[in-house]
Each structure stands twice: as structure tokens, then as C-alpha cells.
Chain A
């Protein structure tokens, strides 16, 4: 009875898009998932002795990635009727159907004599009794095993949801230590799931709000290193950094790259007034995009580079506006109760994520680019600073707890408002920025 209900629920969800090219095994993310899709992921086959541990670890990370989306549920190995002992043996679909595995992942790992690692996998639609997509192989190094696992999981996720993946990605953020009145901040970078943390700056000066370049090779951020807030650009591979040119007596902050990877929009404060500027990074030439006595900040480009969403308090409170890439008369798009800030354009171009303050609470929300269909995804004492997953389906943000022991940590939530969860970090963490998918 329960199994039937589960199946029915699954069918309801997965059968909806009749146009799906991949048959019935499909999750439509935007609709919200009634029941996570059950999958089996037997231990990856170690094709030689050197691969034994890697095979286990990789399969674990693949499962964790999928489970972490909230869209999938792993069937415990104790329920398995048959095992997969060889990557190329035929699959006994009946055995997997019997335990209601809708999807089956089989994989194999081998370590070459030069230490290189090869990971192969296949994805099966168990009830259709066939492979979903073709088998794939990823090659890499032992140090890069997590990335290979994430790539497998991205392929599985992508084939079942019809969306791009997001597991093989990184997050740059501000790592925080110390009490609230003596907080130390430094830039850190990690895998999207919190693994492989690397610190990029020391904690001698305040750093704020890092953001990736469109290819993920550089990071823009604000630092008080010079004594005053100023924008720096850092090369991720070498960790070399340089300050963007600025005028003495001004503050610059809130930088973000344009899709061209060379133009930067940011806020510059002079004489107490904050406006938005754009700079050509290679030449250092800057031009002013807004010119009002109000606060204009947090600019973010549309993915096609034609428009900029930003916040302004020109109406008396913080609200969201859109203007052309070279400035011009902006259109206000936020009209709800409360204050709206930190707008970020989705990589798909369809939505804008923002922070909303209303009645003493903070929310992360999304709205369409014309301001319609506002949806609040979270609520807490202090949520702020959304950043989009590379596929535009998940938002990561900062949540800070209140009081003297208040501390910041990173959370993520689906654009459906489901699957709110904390990202594991060593200490406090704030201001996450999600990279594009790695190449």
C-alpha cells in the first residue's frame, strides 16, 4: 500500500512534462517535489586494488550530492537484492524494481600506474529497464577525486531534472572568528558542499562580499587593507591580488563583474554620497552610472549584460531598480511592504533574488525581473546576501543569529523554498558567492 502510494506520487510528479525527452524518469524542480525520487547507488566497483578506497568515497559523495538536493532519496544497501560486481554485467532490473529504486547508478573506479584516476558511471531508469543517457568516463588525479564525484552527480542530476548541475562548483565566502565586537574576517574558498577549504587572505583587515568572475578565475572583494574600504581583484590560482584604482578620500565597495569578465560595477562613496559606477578593469577607466543624493548600491548585471539591477533609497527606503548597462533612468521593480536590498540576477535571467526586511524580520526572496510573483523563501532574525547556484535553482545566503553570542553561517534553499539547510564551515561564515560550474 505505501509503496503504491509512493509510486503514484512519483508518477504524478515525474509524468507531468509529457515533452520530456528522457521518458518518465524526471523531476520538475520548479513544481516542488512531493516525494523524493528513490535511487540505488551500489558501491562503485574498484577495478584495481589501488582504487578500493576511492571507489567507496566517490560513490558516497555522489549520493550525498543527490540527497542534499532534497529531490532524491537513497535506498539503503541493506535493502538490495542484487549487487553490481562488474561495471559491464547486465543489470537485473527486476531486483531493483522490487525495492522500488527508480534510478540506479553503477560506477567503476580505476587508478592507473601513473596515479591518474578514471571514474566511469551509468545511470539506469529502472522501471523503463534501460540506460538514461550514455555511460560517461571522467579522468583526473587522486587529489581531484571529489570533483570527479561531483561531475558524476551533476550528470545524474542533469539527466533526471533536465536542468544543469551545480555540484562541481566552489563558493568564496568570508570566514569569521572571534566575538561580535572583535570579529576577524578573512576570505576563504571551498567546494559547494564545504569540503576543501582554502584561506585566501589573513585576518588583519576586514574583508567583505567577495564575488566571482564569470569564469570563476578571479574574485572581486572589498578590503580595509589600506585603512579604507577599497576593491581588490584576486587571481584564484595564484592568490595574487591588486587594488582597483580609486581616488583618495573615497570608499569603494559592492563590486560585481559584468558577464564580459572585464567590466566591474560597484559603489563609490564621496562626500557621504554613494552612487554606482562602472570600471573597465584592464584600463582602469571608470564612469558614473547614477547621480542622486540617495544611496545606490549592490549592482548586479543581467546575464546578457544589457541591464543592471541595484538598490536605492531614493524613494525614502531601500527598493530595487533596474537600469541599462550604461545607466539611464531606472525603473523601480519592488513595491511590497518593507525594504529590499542586495538584488542578484539569476544566471538563467528569469529571476532576481533579494534580501527583504519587513516587520523586524529578514527574508531571502525571489521575484521576476519585472517585480511580479515575489516569493519569500526564508525568514529569520537576519538573513541576507543571496547568491545563485550555477543552474539558478538554489540560493545560498548568510544567516546571523541574534544577541551577544550572535554568529553568522551559510545556508542554502531551493527557489521553491524547500530544502533549507546549513552549509558546514569550520567557524563562522558570511557573504557567500557561488562560482560557475567548473570546467
Chain B
């Protein structure tokens, strides 16, 4: 399914180059190395670069902008699913973007760190994804444009077994995709 692939590949991408500005952000990014070699600020598809180029991270209407400038994720405290004020700001931006760019739909992926049993973490990830979904709905995003999924502890982005990694893995990531499909 496309949902699944987009989710997995964009996560890989983010670990490598969250600050890279690349129009490839949500294009078929099966090989994360491409983003490193693309270099910051250089144009991607079609060699089109520059400020405000359609589809680039500097284009406020692009998914790349959503991902990198607004911020596509919310981090959570241990075993919690409440959204702190810092991330409410991020979600306000996400909601605004979604309201402006009504062609897109979003899937919110919930994740947990590895310090928990597998099935509980699936449920916990679902709680987190749902908290984000509810917040976005409360800011006016149509429920029909949002779906949630939990990966529990199955898809960590940081690999060490200490809090600095765990805190990055306890996350809910909003993945944007074109709404016409699915």
C-alpha cells in the first residue's frame, strides 16, 4: 500500500537529512543516500531550484515545506500521549497548512520507544497518533482527511538504547500525501 511505503521511506529520509532542503522530500525516496548527495539547497527533480520553486522546501505549498519548516512530528514524554505547548504550536502550523492545501490528506503515525512490551506499545502509539489527529481536527481539519496508524516500537529512527534516542522515537509523525489516490 502506498500509505505504508510513504511512511517508512520518509522516516528513513528524516533520520538522514531533516535539515536538507530537497524537492525530493516525498518523491520516491527509496534510497536515502540520494538526499545526502543532493546537497542542501540544490534543486532536485528537473534541476529546478531557487526560492519558492514549486515543490521545493521553500515553497510553502510543498509537502517538503510541511515536513521541514512547519515540522511533521510531535515528541512525547515516557508513556504519555499528551501534547505539550511546544508541539501544539507545531500542530497549529500543520492544521493551517492542511486547511490551505486541501488537495492533501495525512496519515498520522504513532510510535513508541523500545522500553515497553510490543502490544502495549502498539496501543500506546495509537494513543499518540490519535492525540495528534484529535488536535488537528480541533483546529478545523476535516476528519475525512486524516488517518492514524501505530507502529509501536517496530520502526525506531534512533538506535541507541538511552534516553537521547528514546525521546526521538516516542513520536507521532504526520505524513502528507496527495489526496486523489487511495
Report yes or no: A267 in contact with B130, Cβ–Cβ below 8 A.
no
In B110-147, the 8 Å CB interface with A consists of 114-120, 122-124, 126-127, 129-131, 133-134, 147
A318 within 8 A of B: yes
Report yes or no: B119 in contact with A269, Cβ–Cβ below 8 A.
no
Chain A residue contacts of B79, Cβ below 8 A: 317
Report yes or no: B1 in contact with A226, Cβ–Cβ below 8 A.
yes
Query: What is the size category of the interface that chain B forms with chain A?
Result: 35 or more
A326 within 8 A of B: no
Report yes or no: A298 in contact with B159, Cβ–Cβ below 8 A.
no
Count residues of chain A with CB under 8 A from any CB of chain B: 46
A297 to B119, CA, bound (A): 7
Report yes or no: B159 in contact with A403, Cβ–Cβ below 8 A.
yes
Report yes or no: B1 in contact with A227, Cβ–Cβ below 8 A.
yes
In A276-335, the 8 Å CB interface with B consists of 295, 297-298, 311, 313, 317-318
Chain A residue contacts of B4, Cβ below 8 A: 205, 224, 227
Report yes or no: B126 in contact with A272, Cβ–Cβ below 8 A.
yes
A179 to B120, CA, bound (A): 23
Nearest CB to that of B161 among chain A residues?
A402
Q: From the candidates B15, B129, B155, B161, name the one contacting A381 in the complex (CB within 8 A).
A: B161
Chain A residue contacts of B116, Cβ below 8 A: 341, 357
Report yes or no: A267 in contact with B159, Cβ–Cβ below 8 A.
no
With A182-B12, A224-B4 in contact, do A274 and B126 touch (Cβ < 8 Å)? yes
Q: From the candidates B130, B149, B160, name the one contacting A404 in the complex (CB within 8 A).
A: B160
Chain A residue contacts of B155, Cβ below 8 A: 181
Report yes or no: A181 in contact with B157, Cβ–Cβ below 8 A.
yes
Report yes or no: B115 in contact with A357, Cβ–Cβ below 8 A.
yes
Binds B, one of A25-33, A82-90, A92-100, A248-256: A248-256
Report yes or no: A355 in contact with B123, Cβ–Cβ below 8 A.
no
Report yes or no: A228 in contact with B149, Cβ–Cβ below 8 A.
yes
Report yes or no: A271 in contact with B130, Cβ–Cβ below 8 A.
yes
Report yes or no: B148 in contact with A404, Cβ–Cβ below 8 A.
no
Report yes or no: A341 in contact with B117, Cβ–Cβ below 8 A.
yes
A403 to B149, CA, bound (A): 26
Chain A residue contacts of B34, Cβ below 8 A: none
Report yes or no: A181 in contact with B15, Cβ–Cβ below 8 A.
yes
A240 within 8 A of B: no
A431 within 8 A of B: yes
Report yes or no: A297 in contact with B120, Cβ–Cβ below 8 A.
yes
Q: From the candidates B15, B117, B131, B147, name the one contacting A355 in the complex (CB within 8 A).
A: B117
With A224-B4, A269-B126 in contact, do A253 and B119 touch (Cβ < 8 Å)? yes
Q: From the candidates A267, A384, A406, name the one contacting B117 in the complex (CB within 8 A).
A: A384
Q: From the candidates A183, A271, A342, A357, name the one contacting B119 in the complex (CB within 8 A).
A: A342
B63 within 8 A of A: no
Report yes or no: A298 in contact with B154, Cβ–Cβ below 8 A.
no
Chain A residue contacts of B134, Cβ below 8 A: 272
Report yes or no: A254 in contact with B15, Cβ–Cβ below 8 A.
no
Closest chain B CB from A368 CB (angstroms): 21
Report yes or no: B156 in contact with A251, Cβ–Cβ below 8 A.
no
A15 within 8 A of B: no
Interface-centre pick from B119, B122, B133 (highest chain A CB count, 10 A)? B119
Kindly list the 4 A-B residue pairs having the minimum CB-CB distance in the complex, ordered from nearest. Answer: A272-B130, A227-B1, A402-B161, A274-B123
- Using a CB–CB cutoff of 8 Å, the interface residues on chain B facing chain A are 1, 3-4, 12, 15, 79, 81, 114-120, 122-124, 126-127, 129-131, 133-134, 147-151, 154-157, 159-161
Q: List 7 A-B contacts (CB under 8 A).
A: A183-B154, A249-B147, A267-B123, A273-B127, A311-B120, A382-B115, A402-B161
Q: Supply 9 further A-B pairs (C-beta < 8 A) apart from A253-B119, A272-B148, A382-B115.
A: A182-B12, A208-B118, A251-B149, A253-B122, A272-B127, A274-B123, A295-B124, A295-B127, A403-B160
